[in-house]
Structure 1
Amino acid sequence: MRSRDFPDRDDRSELGFGGPGHFTAELRISQGLRDADPALRAARAEEFRAECERLVDGLAARWGEPFEHGLQGIRLRTEKGEIPEPWAGFGTAVAHACVWEPSTDGRWAAAGVADLDPSDEIRLLLVVTEVPLP
């Protein structure tokens, strides 16, 4: 993921979506949880978080240890139009992320579970971007 080319323009593919300087892979998407019973949704979100932890453990072996980052500040600043993509979209969907700072590749990476919108499916996301974390 960190070495793949970014799309030339905003676009969606079978792997996710992206644009110049960023790509977001949708690694797993729930089925049928839009507006689902809150208890069922919460249980499935926990499953996604456990899967995200396993993903982070595997990536940490390759990319080093990430730092945990709460995205509430990004959500608040996105409402004012101050945050660029992919962080604006990621921050409005994900509460907490594991973030890797760029090494020699100059690319940031972040993993998290998008479960903040109860009218949307739950998604396990991995972002790779040249855009610094705001």
Structure 2
Amino acid sequence: MDIANHLAVIDRLCAREFPAAHDRTDVGTGGPGYLMAELQTSGDFYEDDGTEREETEALYEADRDALGERLAERWGPADVFGLAGVFLRSVAGEELAEPWGTLASHVPDVHLWRAESGRWVALGVSQWDGELPFQLLAVVTETGPP
């Protein structure tokens, strides 16, 4: 993991304007009120017996925590915000502001800060399915968690 590069990406997200429409960006995706960067992406696990997946998950969580320590130096300790309840609300048909609705479908929890700018900054580890890659995600949004 390249912490300096990841911090630079987060700084760029914090300074950028939000896109007017949902679209791909140079580092991930964005839309009205949010930007999401895919900081790291693992390989897939189609040929895995479960061992590599467990090791990769632990590595991505450790990388999130290490990056989070650097962000905590700026903004204080993170709040850990579980997204399971948000996911259940979205499945029940509740309209949730982005990026929270989509994020809850593949990230179990985020480490969350409020930057001086008033924007929310979140780090999370994504995995859509058991065979698909993990991703270390950084999210910057003007919309607080639901």
Q: Percent same amino acid among aligned pairs?
A: 37
Task: Indicate conservation of the 8 Å contact 2:126/2:136, yes or no.
Answer: yes
CA distance in 1, matches of 2:92, 2:81: 20
Which residue number corresponds to residue 84 of structure 1? 97
User: Is the aligned partner of 1:117 residue 2:129?
Assistant: yes
Q: Cα–Cα, structure 1 residues 29 and 107, in superposed 2: closer, same or farther, change >3 Å?
A: same
Q: How many residues align?
A: 133
Whichever structure has more helix as a proportion of its residues is 2
Report the secondary structure of 2:36's partner residue.
strand
1:32 shift after superposition: 2.7
Return the match for 1:52 from 51, 64, 81.
64
Task: Indicate conservation of the 8 Å contact 2:41/2:135, yes or no.
Answer: yes
Task: Indicate conservation of the 8 Å contact 1:35/1:118, yes or no.
Answer: no
For structure 2, the 5+ residue unaligned runs are 1-12
Q: Cα–Cα, structure 1 residues 25 and 103, in superposed 2: closer, same or farther, change >3 Å?
A: closer
- Normalising by structure 2, we get a TM-score of 0.82
Which residue number corresponds to residue 8 of structure 2? none
Amino acid at match of 1:32: D
**Alignment map for 1:3-82 (pairs within 5 Å):** 3-33=15-45, 36-82=48-94
Q: Which deviates more from structure 2 when the two are superposed, residues 6-15 or residues 115-124?
A: 115-124
| Alpha-carbon RMSD | 1.7
For structure 1, the 5+ residue unaligned runs are none
